[in-house]
Structure 1
Amino acid sequence: MSGQGIEVAATREARRTGLVLAAACVCQVMVVLDVSVVNVALPSVASSLDFSAGSLSWVVNAYVLVFGGLLLLGGRFADLVGHRAAMFVGLALFGVASVLGGFSRTPGELIAARAGQGVAGAVLAPLSLTLIMVTFPEGKARGRAIGIWSMVSAGGSALGVLLGGLLTEWLSWRWVLFVNVPIVVAAALLGAWSVRAARPTPARRLDVVGAVLVTVAVSALVNGTILAGEHGWGTAGALVSFAVAVVVGAGFAWWELRGTTTPLVRFGVFRSRSVWVANVIVVFIGAATIAGFYFASLFLQDVLRYTPLQAGAAFLPFCMGTIVGAMTSARLAARIGTRTVMAAGLALGAIGMFLFSRLHADSTFLNGFLLPSVVASVGVGLCMVANTTLGTTGAAEHEAGLVSGLLNACRQCGGSIGLAALTAVAVSATKHSGTSTATQALVNGYDRAFVVTAGFALVAALVAALFVPSASRAHGGSAPASDGSRKGTTTTADSDVAATG
């Protein structure tokens, strides 16, 4: 091939890889945006479909719970049928579920549609990162692509709240679901132009039993927490749900260890300190951020009487702060270490969440909501990107999908359980507030939830300060492979694994 032909081919390949990155980012932003885009619309949803205060959280939980429970299975599905096919299946399911949800007439129909979106999201989320890993070679190109992908993930939730406010105010709450249709079309076109039909791996079977067991266990735990908040911790329904969670959870552990030759989760991966620490931390990050968005949205509309559009606009500082934190995270981690960045970011997040608990019925945007938003959002942005880097640094190549899937699954399950627990806390505090006005009772409930949310972030900060490897950097490396062999260069994370046994 002539020099000119080589140059043309290189230009075409660069254009294709750019489109792959765009497709991956559109899929990812749709997945994370759909967790928060409905938050501002929740009061309108409750009024339109007659949700109770306790059951309303299932509009969020139905998505987050199914999404988190099936994330690992979604990654295996992409391996089985191929990346291109999995992308189109996930997008088609997301689009159909969104349309059905937009036309919902009862709470059950909407919750079922949100669960369908969760199934689709469980396919698309791990696939979006996998597309980057197989398209961009190791080094600066892949690092830059993952950085852009991480920024989209960090900012998507905050942007979702703003978009939800705009759609609910100008159109109706149903458009927070219908809006996914043009996004699905855009992602499908980008994928059709750029994503190649990778060869599937039929030798790898799907661990459907493991996926069902973990989803049932987490669902029972969330349901028990909600029932406990509504009717008391000693009620039969709550106790039965907790018992099912324990029994099925133990069954999942046995199945993964002894019952299948193709486990959904290979527990040996947690021998790496960076993996288990990052996953513990991301559980608390998910609980703090997902629940924080939920209660902040309700506070703005139920207490301060903001319109959906005003509530969405009030989250703009949070959106910008998250993006600033995400953009700064990698550079700071390279200079002062991941542990310092994560501990400081999570501490900022805890302070911001606690400041939210100081809001009252006479608060305004400037004298009440702005400062907590800025403090919490910068902290969230710093820790989310640094924690993703920590959790994937040093992973053996054949387990990159597993560790990235674990991070996503733990964040979503943490968010679902945290939201259920804090809904129970808020409902209980509201019922027993003893105040003379309904508005003040709501304030008491929301403030109590924000205090617990701050506690989640503080626990994560302590875990980061105590257990993140002291010399870890954002550069990465390779951790021990599962069979004891080494891939790549030895890193600080490797020595920490060896030291901890």
Structure 2
Amino acid sequence: MSTDVLEAPAPARATSLRAVWPAILGLSVVFLVEMLDNSVLNVALPTIARDLSASATDLQWITSGYSLLFGGLMIAFGAIADRYGTRRMMLIGLALFALANLAVLAVRTPGELVAVRAAVGITAAMTAPGTMALCFRLFDAENMLMRATSFIATVGLVGLAVGPTVGGLILQVLPWQALLVMNVPIAVLAWLCIRGGIPADDATNRNTSPLDLPGALLGTATIILTLWTATLAVEDGWGKAAPWLAGTGALVSAAAFVLRERRTAHPMFDFKLLKRPAVSASLAYEAAMGLGMAAIAFSVSLQLQLVWGWSAAEAALGNLPQVVVMLAIGPFVEKIVDRLGTHRAGAIGASSVVGGLLLYALLGRYDYVWIAIALALTAAGMRVVSTIAGVTVMRGLPEDQTSIGAALSDTSQEVASSIGTAVTGTVVAATLAGTLAGIGHSAAGAHSFENAITVSTLALTAVCAVLVVWAARRTKIAALSGQDSL
């Protein structure tokens, strides 16, 4: 799948999704694979453990290796894409992604599977920043950008909802390797659609400053160590040295990164852009959404299964209100924004998330109906805010930094989600006298767990609210100055 072939002619900016359906299909498929990759494979972990004689540590690296490299490398690849071509990076990434997934057929040991998953994570990070950046090449009108973004997100959410079920059905008739091999034709489809449906990279719109390789390495190390610290804190607790060492490494890397970027003549990302109200507000909203998602997704699943005794299938059904509302509200995001304006719609959506979190923290322990309402409120708010924030952060950046802007948006939410999960896990671990598996065996254990969830959710809700209020003030400044639409 070489990119050194005849380039597609650059079409005029589209006025409907149908006019550029191959491109929208390709970008939707890319986002779908990103959403599915870990959740689908999780279904197969018991089978993988038996087939490869994998230990618990091996299984942890099979899942974490992908997540850490995917989350940690997005910003670096975004910076590279801005300099060498976003479409080119997407096509190369998809080709390598297909090869990386195909390599699973040669896997014979847990270590080999970890290496394959690492390669898949790296190649997925190559494609992630381009999804939003390339979408912005297709449209000028903001309502069309929101419509396209909402459609792409809907495809990903449908995949997220049905992915584990489909994965389980596939495992009934095919070996677990099929869950990775099926990504190959999907990647080929995306490659063909993007290759034929999106204009070639325009050299005049590229970032011409030299790539700050030391800064890219330090930034990547900071994010990976931050994500790894959160993972270790949840899995091992703070009583062991590993999370402390990883956290210290993250702080040292972050300090070195900031120092490097302030001193170099050509920083990887111009941090002065963060002073733009719309950009900083959008990233704050994304971080708030990440915290909110972590607070409710992690806690609800544990509560339903460990405290109330629901089966895994019943717990999955219990989380359906979130998925259903996200899907249902998608077609109406554009209308909501048109009626209220992006500034007001963003504030109301964010308030819905905070309200849902507060409702779950205070009443979620008493009856499932409160959990269902909380899931619906947070889902509706997240869907509106994420769409608005994603479009606005791109609008607030120069055209030669759109890929790294998209990467910053995704990374801020992913890092915040990891931190939120770590906070919840830490509070729960500090409160319980025994293990998680035993909390449902006694009323005291269940009560302690519910108290821990209340405390952690209230703490995350408070941080989320602070971010939302700060972001709302920044968006008001942006609206008054006419700088951006949010």
What TM-score do you get using the length of structure 2 for normalisation? 0.77
Q: 1:264-413, aligned counterparts within 5 Å? A: 264-289=268-293, 292-293=296-297, 304=309, 306=311, 315-336=319-340, 337-351=344-358, 354=361, 358=365, 370-413=372-415
With over 3 angstroms needed to count, the CA separation of the structure-2 counterparts of 1:147 and 1:14, relative to structure 1, is: closer
**What are the Cα deviations for residues 375-423 of structure 1, in whole angstroms up to 9, with x where unaligned?**
4433332332233244344444444434322111211222334344544
Aligned to 2:267: 263
Comparing 63-72 with 350-359, greater Cα deviation is found at: 350-359
Comparing 312-321 with 447-456, greater Cα deviation is found at: 447-456
With over 3 angstroms needed to count, the CA separation of the structure-2 counterparts of 1:51 and 1:297, relative to structure 1, is: farther
With over 3 angstroms needed to count, the CA separation of the structure-2 counterparts of 1:393 and 1:116, relative to structure 1, is: same
Give 1:238's match in structure 2, choosing from 213, 234, 243: 243
2:470 and 2:21 map into 1 onto residues whose CA distance is: 39
**What are the Cα deviations for residues 31-84 of structure 1, in whole angstroms up to 9, with x where unaligned?**
2332543455556666766554x8866555433332222222222333444344
How far the C-alpha of 1:247 sits from its partner, in A, is: 1.2
What TM-score do you get using the length of structure 1 for normalisation? 0.75
With over 3 angstroms needed to count, the CA separation of the structure-2 counterparts of 1:368 and 1:253, relative to structure 1, is: same
1:291 and 1:92 map into 2 onto residues whose CA distance is: 36
Comparing 135-144 with 121-130, greater Cα deviation is found at: 135-144
How far the C-alpha of 1:21 sits from its partner, in A, is: 1.7
Aligned to 1:181: 184
Partner amino acid, structure 1, of 2:186: I
Aligned to 2:91: 88
1:445 and 1:98 map into 2 onto residues whose CA distance is: 43
Q: Does 1:210 align with 2:215?
A: yes
1:41 and 1:352 map into 2 onto residues whose CA distance is: 35
Comparing 250-259 with 310-319, greater Cα deviation is found at: 310-319
- Contact 1:40/1:312 (CA < 8 Å) preserved in 2? no
Q: Does 1:25 align with 2:28?
A: yes
Aligned to 1:6: none
2:391 and 2:339 map into 1 onto residues whose CA distance is: 14
- Contact 1:225/1:238 (CA < 8 Å) preserved in 2? yes
1:140 and 1:118 map into 2 onto residues whose CA distance is: 32
What count of residue pairs does the alignment treat as equivalent? 464
Comparing 229-238 with 293-302, greater Cα deviation is found at: 293-302
Q: Does 1:127 align with 2:130?
A: yes
Partner amino acid, structure 2, of 1:342: G
- Contact 1:395/1:478 (CA < 8 Å) preserved in 2? no
With over 3 angstroms needed to count, the CA separation of the structure-2 counterparts of 1:14 and 1:344, relative to structure 1, is: closer
- Contact 2:424/2:453 (CA < 8 Å) preserved in 1? yes
Q: Does 1:72 align with 2:75?
A: yes
Partner amino acid, structure 2, of 1:181: V
How far the C-alpha of 1:443 sits from its partner, in A, is: 6.5
With over 3 angstroms needed to count, the CA separation of the structure-2 counterparts of 1:30 and 1:254, relative to structure 1, is: same
1:189 and 1:392 map into 2 onto residues whose CA distance is: 25
How far the C-alpha of 1:312 sits from its partner, in A, is: 5.3
Over the aligned positions, Cα root-mean-square deviation in angstroms equals 4.3
Q: Does 1:416 align with 2:418?
A: yes
2:453 and 2:108 map into 1 onto residues whose CA distance is: 30
1:478 and 1:194 map into 2 onto residues whose CA distance is: 37
Partner amino acid, structure 1, of 2:211: L
Partner amino acid, structure 2, of 1:285: M
1:278 and 1:36 map into 2 onto residues whose CA distance is: 27
How far the C-alpha of 1:464 sits from its partner, in A, is: 1.5
How far the C-alpha of 1:252 sits from its partner, in A, is: 0.8
**What are the Cα deviations for residues 109-161 of structure 1, in whole angstroms up to 9, with x where unaligned?**
44443332222222212212222222323455444323423444555544445
How far the C-alpha of 1:271 sits from its partner, in A, is: 0.7
Aligned to 1:145: 148
2:176 and 2:316 map into 1 onto residues whose CA distance is: 13
Percent identity reads 25
Structure 1 gaps, min length 5: 1-8, 480-488, 494-501
Aligned to 1:484: none
1:452 and 1:102 map into 2 onto residues whose CA distance is: 43
